[in-house]
Chain A
Amino acid sequence: MKANCWYGKHDVRVKEVPDPTILNPRDAIVKITLTAICGSDLHLYDGYIPTMEHGDILGHEFMGEIVELGGRVNNLKIGDRVVVPFTISCGNCFFCEMQLYSLCENSNPNAWMAEKLWGHSPTGIFGYSHLVGGYAGGQAQYTRVPFADVGPIKVPTELTDEQVLFLSDILPTGYMAAENCNIHPGDTVAVWGCGPVGLFAIKSAYLLGAERVIAIDRIPERLRMAHEKAGAETINYEHANVYDTLMEMTGGRGPDSCIDAVGMEAHMPGPLYAYDRVKQALMFETGRPIALREAIMACRNGGTISVPGVYGGLVDKMPLGSIMNRALTIKTGQTHVQRYMRPLLERIQNGEIDPTFVITHRLSLEDAPMAYQIFKNKQDECIKVVLSPN
């Protein structure tokens, strides 16, 4: 089969590789009908996530058709059309029983590696380094799906692939980011980053009762989409001081909650960016928490910071004093995808949300290397790429 493999920084190639096989009784093999490139794949592409190995198959947003089942998967049958969550979760452990699926204790065979870096291990994730399992990903024609009796969700035939694909990651991720904000009627939510997760967070914040959502980015087409398709007010941080503007918009109090949908590779104008960029290049910090710092400083007293943006290791100059003295709450985590798939599928069926608006590029799997490049460089107004592998 063909698969998009990682060979180093800014080097991905579509290669002919062996077909996946069932390795465990709860596995399934999915023939992929549609897959996507996630913003977090760019952290791998840019070489910021450790423990990647040459030849690892990328991709954690995918859907398709069941073509093979292990002996213990009883709730699916060959031919079922499913969306697969990016978090691989057993459904049996302490955390899965609490629906904290991204903290599954049993799905990361390399848990000891994650324990060294983070103290404890989160769940296994498709195509996202050996730190979280080293599982072959879904930018391929076929993928092996472990714990297939727990993760994949069957989707009705009346919905297209494009309508349901993002249940695999970015729609639940944006939704959980907004849910973590503990939104009350009348709330103002500020969202840093208008990539797909930020855009879905804006949409979700409105669905959950926010009155105002303010979106922050620097890419004109992303700000335009945040405004036109998601209904946010916008701030271009290259043209306006974000803190001052937010204070002006909220009577000096600050947004009730702030979402960092940017993560470890943030940008900003000015010398502090250069400082973080150099420290990151020298491995003195693994992330540039520029958006997060700004979100913390801007958030109102007693407000909530929600962090769906990905961080890998250590960051520098965290304004802990601001968090402590102003009683801020920080909520974060990889998404507990399995918890959100069904309710969000219902919202899609009801027409409350149509996730297809983020798609700007529809390409074939063979185009993956080019797609990574334009997505990374934000060329051709690229916001979301979906790839057809078969």
Chain B
Amino acid sequence: MATQTTYNHGSQSWEGEPGKGSAQGWARGLGWFSVGLGFTELLLPGPLGRLIGVRDHRTLIRAMGAREIAAGIMVLKERTPTRSMAARVSGDIVDLGLLSAGLGSRGARRGRIVGAAAAVAGVTALDVLCTKQLAEREPSALAETVQTIAINRSPEECYQFWRDFENLPRFMKHVESVRVMPEGRTRWIAKGPAGMRVQWDAEITEDRPGRITWRSLEGSDIENTGSVRFERAPTGHGTIVRAHIQYRPPAGKIGSVVAKLFGEEPSIQAKTDLRRFKQMMETGEVATIEGQTSGRAHVEQSARAAAAHA
């Protein structure tokens, strides 16, 4: 009987779907509000201007509309739009500034302007609150990525190479060393920017040909779990390797090192490491241009040129 499996290929998802009541849910609501308001400003600048008590500023209102739509789209595009929400707050401040400037402009109706400013101030308060909640949520979010790659070697060869954990730094870009300890434990050290290191111990929770799973132990700089599977691909197509990694970057200074280690997109980092594993398995080396010459490199030596002259 064929088994059916649903894969979440190459995705990177964050714990917690955006829903009602969550900070993400709030952000989405505010995003849609921006889009609605933006279109109103863009298409009906006249009536809107009269409503908020400023006339003769159609072009400015249209421009504000365009900005509002852009801000809304930015917020809606991202799952955790912390930065876009922060951008909204600055937009609110600009709006408030313009409204107060509008108090002095020709044909201004002070009562309506003050009312409009009160409404904007309300939205500003919501934006600030939402941004703060999103920012607080972020450090504890669980990052997850599933990556696969086809390798022109047998599942046994791939498993054997990976199972020798001290091989892992040969293809994991940021892992400096993996030390095998007693009782199925391993000690990992990864290097970050400016010589910073993060460290964690892990235990192997499952180890059989075709599948290795692990879990970090208490006191780790990064809490993480993962599995790597080596599946036989159709005849002549070697092995399909599937890596599934979940990790929870800590808050604070170590958290920022971890964030830099994994880059803006952890899925790309994981895919790149898998690709380097493939290169190691198939070609015996990792393709690189690191350290090659270029017009950017400082000319320290031109030994060969010197030798040629001599």
Contacts and interface: CB of A to CB of B under 8 A. Distances in A.
B295 A19 contact: no
B302 A23 contact: no
Interface string B270-310: 01100100110011111111111111111111111100000
A94 B152 contact: yes
B237 A94 contact: yes
A24 B304 contact: no
Contact of B278 (A15, A17, A56, A106): A106
A65 to B, nearest CB: 12
A337 interface: no
Contacts of B300: 18
B243 to A, nearest CB: 15
Nearest to A57: B294
Given A72-B284, A105-B278, A136 B305 contact: no
A105 B302 CA distance: 33
Interface in B185-213: none
Interface in A73-98: 90-94, 97
A136 B289 contact: yes
Interface of B: 150, 152, 237-238, 268, 271-272, 275, 278-279, 282-305
B299 A17 contact: yes
Q: Which of A5, A13, A54, A57 has the most CB of B within 10 A?
A: A57
B283 A19 contact: no
B295 A134 contact: no
Contacts of B284: 25-26, 72
B289 A109 contact: yes
Contacts of A55: 294-297
Q: Classify the secondary structure of B's interface with A.
A: loop
Nearest to A13: B295
A1 interface: yes
Interface size class of A (residues with CB under 8 A): 35 or more
Contacts of A57: 293-295
Nearest to B298: A18
B307 to A, nearest CB: 10
A257 interface: no
Contacts of A109: 287-289
A144 B292 contact: yes
A85 B98 CA distance: 63
B285 A24 contact: yes
